[in-house]
Amino acid sequence: MKAKAFSYLRARTIEEALAAHSQAGDDARFIAGGQSLVPTLALRLQAPKLLIDITHLAELRGIRRESDFLRIGALTRHCEVMGEPLIAEFAPLLRAAAPFVAHPAIRNRGTLGGSIALADPAAEFPAMVLALDAEIEIAGLSGVRRVKADDFFVDLFETALAPGELVTAIHVPLFKANQKIAFDELARRRGDYALVGCGMIATFDGAKIETVRIAFFAVGHVPTRARTAEAVLPGYALDAARIAAAQAVLEQDLAPPDSDEAPPAMRLHLARVLLGRLLGRIGESA
């Protein structure tokens, strides 16, 4: 349970962090909160020769309201997602999901950017940035680019990040007065990875849904949007019949893999239950 020897560099600038990664022949890892990285090093699932500590990069900190989005610095810790008033006001889906991420001591260290970059398919935040139609701000040696969440999560623990690129911020469209969010997950014990989890954000025109984005996690290799279920909702109020219609088509969106923890049919059933509950909650509050 001890990591293999590595060297450590506390980066002072983004440029220094990127250059060091490149110099190490990309046999390096960026470390921020380290709550997922350190166990993999302790278990020797990976053994980079260089760790580049990015936690002191001021450019990766802070939460700022821009004209039509909230820029959340990658180093924003999960406990800050829970406590920051700007996030509660303009990105309430992240606020709703945060208490479900692991346990308090993990939330004190873990960072939003780290969770997105790791892209654990069972984690809450990757699916929520997908539901929110957020953009991932990425720095590399060739400059800064932004990738839509829809294009960011590629496969199991695989993202649009190229080797040596760094997530610097998440851009979340500002929450509007005619929008509603809902989040929940089903886990055997509090703080465990969910058997199934879901978050959604709906825009209303009166009592009727105008648009909705629904994202599931722990249902496959990547956080997954329920596009077919999303498509049957616009133009309707969320009554029991419409919720049932969304539940009926959900199996076209999700194909949970088999696992010891839960067979595919069980996960799909739980996903339908969760979808019904969350649409019901949004409908009641609309």
Partner 1 sequence: MSEIDTSFDPGDADEVVRVRFVLNGCKTSCAVAPRDTLLDCLRNSLELTGTHAGCEMGACAACLVLLDGRAVHSCLMFAVQADGARIETIEGLSESGAIADLQAEFHRRNALQCGFCTPGMLINAHELLSQNAAPSRAEIRDALSGNYCRCTGYEAIVDAVAAAAARRAGGKTKDHAS
Closer of 2 and 67 to partner 1 (Cβ): 2
Residues 191-230, interacting with partner 1 (CB under 8 A) = 191
Minimum Å gap between C-beta 35 and partner 1 is: 6
Closer of 38 and 86 to partner 1 (Cβ): 38
How many residues of this chain interact with partner 1, rule: CB under 8 A?
Answer: 45
Work out whether 2 is an interface residue with partner 1 (CB under 8 A): yes
| HSE value, Cβ hemisphere, 13 Å, CA-based, for 131 | 31
Closer of 56 and 65 to partner 1 (Cβ): 56
With contacts defined by CB under 8 A, name the span among 58-66, 102-110, 173-181, 240-248 that binds partner 1: 102-110
What are φ and ψ of residue 221, in 5° steps?
A: -80, -20
Minimum Å gap between C-beta 230 and partner 1 is: 32
What are φ and ψ of residue 95, in 5° steps?
A: -60, -40
Other C-beta atoms closer than 10 Å to the C-beta of 164 total: 21
Q: Which of 177, 190, 206, 284 binds partner 1 (CB under 8 A)?
A: 190
Q: Which of 59, 71, 88, 109 binds partner 1 (CB under 8 A)?
A: 109
Closer of 140 and 264 to partner 1 (Cβ): 140
Residues 24-83, interacting with partner 1 (CB under 8 A) = 24, 27-28, 31, 34-35, 38-39, 41-43, 49-51, 53, 55, 79
Closer of 10 and 148 to partner 1 (Cβ): 10
- Residues forming the site for partner 1 (CB under 8 A): 1-10, 12-13, 15-16, 19-20, 23-24, 27-28, 31, 34-35, 38-39, 41-43, 49-51, 53, 55, 79, 99, 102-106, 108-109, 189-191
